[in-house]
Structure 1
Amino acid sequence: MLVQSNVSLRHLNTFGLDADARYFINVQSVDELTAVLRDPEWKGTPKFILGGGSNILLTQDIDALVIHPGIKGITVLEETEETVVLAVGAGEVWHDFVMYCVDNGYGGVENLSLIPGTVGAAPMQNIGAYGVEIKSVIESVEAVDIESGEKRIFSNAECEFGYRESVFKKALKHQYVITGATFRLSKKPVLNAAYGDVQKTLQEMGAENPTIRDISEAIMQIRRSKLPDPAEIGNAGSFFKNPEIPVAQFAQLRETFPEVPGYPVDAETVKVPAGWLIERAGWKGYREGEIGVHARQALVLVNYGGGTGAQIKALSEKIQASVADKFGVRLNAEVNFI
């Protein structure tokens, strides 16, 4: 195993920010991971886990041993006429895994097409899009304790999934390295095309009896039309979570802003699109030097090239203050600040 020093992380974060790791290692297996975690040479060195870097904002260099889990592989563990259970390595590219499922007729993740990042990061964030969250298909998550090097299997319930949350972002933050996950997918899927954009795109495609491939293609068309490609403009997708507010607060908000959209979460809570709030607060298309807010999607903060994480963080705080002042709603970042 090769541990490198002073390694640029520009290629490992989708904002394309220039930050360095004091030490860096790419582990290719669970055994390699446990070996480095138990190595006396690195025992006292702080550890930082970095996958595809699609949901982080690097505001500084990382004075730690940065571990990049490159664990690959997709294995069929169990299969019936109805379902299939797959074990997937944390280092697999998420979208590649989705395409593998689509190609094989395994339904359940097609609505999550084109989400950047790795399989290992997906359960940490409980990634979701267009009516589907990953918690609905995950059976378990395999992880290694950073301190002891011991392996542990977390059941779906033990992952404590919430809206863009999991136990790995809360109670067990920085305590485990996710090395893989198992997914139960359907061979006779029930499609989720409830979102208006998805229905409209399927109609434009002429997909009268859509398949999971049609859903996937529709999602990709929508995402490409709304979101910038990180390879062309640095970004991390949705920067803020959609705020969930009490029904009474939403009713008051609608008295002042009758056009504000809202989607019931339950009997007591309504979800308001953060992008709508940011756009109505005047930030869509805003540019400040080499950073800004995307011209087509106000929920996306961008680095045009040469911006810094500190500048993007400062801009996000201005947006939060502006939205809170105008609407009385607090936006919380979906992106993790480092």
Structure 2
Amino acid sequence: MLTHGVTLKQLNTFAIDARASHVVRVETEAQMMENWRQAQRRQVPVMLLGSGSNVLFLENYCGTILLNRIKGITVQETAEAWHLHIGAGEDWHELVSNTLADGMPGLENLALIPGCVGSAPIQNIGAYGVEFESRCEYVEVLDLASGEKIRLSKADCRFGYRESIFKHQYRDNYAIVAVGLMLSKTWLPVLTYGDLARLDPATATPAQVFDTVCHMRRTKLPDPRVTGNAGSFFKNPVISAAAAETLLKAYPGAPHYTQPDGQVKLAAGWLIDQCSLKGFRLGEAAVHDKQALVLINRGSASGRDMVALARHVRHQVADKFAIWLEPEVRFIGSRGEVNAVETLS
């Protein structure tokens, strides 16, 4: 189905009312390749989009947007684990919920993260102590120019904190079409963060973890179906041990998490909150009044309005803590992704 000059308001969770020249829903790899090649022949930009849960459209997009709706789930069971092959167009939270209902736990900490499965490896999504990387076996990408399909192992994906090879080498002219996950039959609860720490590791069940995560997210984060947002706008900064020691002397109660390499991860939401920015507004763009890490569209904010707010937040944190926050959200200009940090400078 091809639509001309369509609004993207219902296709991004910020509910930014930008427009695109063309939008095409693709349900097979063949459809994806054909529409990508048509865009190449017309010499217009082309962009793949899942559910639009981690993008900020700064302006109208002057090319073709391909909505990745390649679906399908297959499961192979061994004595040790379940091995899932999942189409990139599947809904992430539905996958989490359905695998749990089918007796295959392991994804419950990642419940209610909006987006499609194909977007998960790009950001190496994570929440409440679990990252996508820990459950990933492989990611399949399609070379749209040659038609070759490539299976990348977990190691090949070069996962890091909100980082992967799909932001770099496999960003342009490639499409994620499927992911492979391994869910171990030896289930161990991850109860590191928030209300999960109140559960007893000896008796906690996957369903309890799932319910607790859903409760935390629903009470602390705005529903994008009601209020435009993309969840966490900024990454949690990682600083040196020496810098963390200095900060903790001044703010001994600051949330902090020592990393395997000795560096320390801070809570970006806490840093923003210390700048008294909860509820702060610039027109229709605002900092959420319950979770400072979330920037919201109160109704009619433009992409540029959201950028102005994010820039203000970033500079306020830098002035107070000498820490420059980096956006987790991808910024999309008229011809594709632009450098978010440079945009906010």
On whether the aligned pair clears a TM of 0.5, the verdict is yes
Q: 1:245-303: per-residue Cα shift (whole Å, max 9, x none)?
A: 00001111123323222110134300010000000011111122211000000000000
Q: Does 1:330 align with 2:324?
A: yes
Q: Does 1:309 align with 2:303?
A: yes
1:133/1:40 CA distance change after superposition, 3 Å: closer
Residues in 2 aligned to 1:174 and 1:296: alpha-carbon distance in whole angstroms: 37
Q: Does 1:199 align with 2:197?
A: yes
Residues in 2 aligned to 1:158 and 1:57: alpha-carbon distance in whole angstroms: 28
Q: Does 1:145 align with 2:143?
A: yes
1:256/1:193 CA distance change after superposition, 3 Å: closer
- Of 130, 133, 150, which aligns to 2:131? 133
> 327-336 or 175-184: which moved more?
175-184
Deviation at 1:81, TM superposition (A): 2.7
SS in 2 for 1:159: coil
Which residue is equivalent to 1:14? 13
Deviation at 1:323, TM superposition (A): 0.5
SS in 1 for 2:4: strand
Which residue is equivalent to 2:342? none
> 43-52 or 302-311: which moved more?
43-52
8 Å CA contact 1:37, 1:149 repeated in 2: no
1:125/1:40 CA distance change after superposition, 3 Å: closer
Q: Does 1:112 align with 2:143?
A: no
Residues in 1 aligned to 2:261 and 2:170: alpha-carbon distance in whole angstroms: 30
Which residue is equivalent to 1:183? 181
8 Å CA contact 1:107, 1:188 repeated in 2: no
* Amino acid across the alignment from 2:5: N
> 171-180 or 322-331: which moved more?
171-180
Q: Does 1:3 align with 2:2?
A: yes
8 Å CA contact 2:53, 2:114 repeated in 1: yes
1:114/1:224 CA distance change after superposition, 3 Å: same
Which residue is equivalent to 1:91? 89
Given the two structures, how large is their TM-score scaled by the length of structure 2? Answer: 0.92
Which residue is equivalent to 1:275? 269
Deviation at 1:101, TM superposition (A): 1.0
8 Å CA contact 2:282, 2:305 repeated in 1: no
* Amino acid across the alignment from 1:58: F
8 Å CA contact 1:122, 1:134 repeated in 2: yes
Q: 1:226-256: per-residue Cα shift (whole Å, max 9, x none)?
A: 1000011110000000000000011111233
Which residue is equivalent to 1:31? 30
* Amino acid across the alignment from 1:175: N
Percent of aligned pairs with the same residue?
43
SS in 1 for 2:47: strand
Residues in 1 aligned to 2:238 and 2:211: alpha-carbon distance in whole angstroms: 29
* Amino acid across the alignment from 1:194: T
Which residue is equivalent to 2:256? 262
Unaligned runs of 5+ in 1: none
Residues in 2 aligned to 1:33 and 1:227: alpha-carbon distance in whole angstroms: 34
Which residue is equivalent to 1:232? 226
- Of 246, 251, 273, which aligns to 1:252? 246
Alignment of 1:204-223 (within 5 A): 209-223=203-217
Residues in 2 aligned to 1:86 and 1:226: alpha-carbon distance in whole angstroms: 31
Residues in 2 aligned to 1:109 and 1:34: alpha-carbon distance in whole angstroms: 31
8 Å CA contact 1:242, 1:273 repeated in 2: yes
Aligned-residue RMSD, C-alpha: 1.7
Deviation at 1:210, TM superposition (A): 2.0
Residues in 2 aligned to 1:31 and 1:233: alpha-carbon distance in whole angstroms: 36
Deviation at 1:75, TM superposition (A): 0.8
8 Å CA contact 2:70, 2:88 repeated in 1: yes
SS in 2 for 1:157: coil
Residues in 2 aligned to 1:289 and 1:39: alpha-carbon distance in whole angstroms: 40
8 Å CA contact 1:143, 1:151 repeated in 2: yes
Residues in 2 aligned to 1:48 and 1:126: alpha-carbon distance in whole angstroms: 20
Unaligned runs of 5+ in 2: 333-345
Query: Aligned pair count?
Result: 332
Given the two structures, how large is their TM-score scaled by the length of structure 1? Answer: 0.94
Residues in 1 aligned to 2:210 and 2:288: alpha-carbon distance in whole angstroms: 24
Which residue is equivalent to 1:80? 78
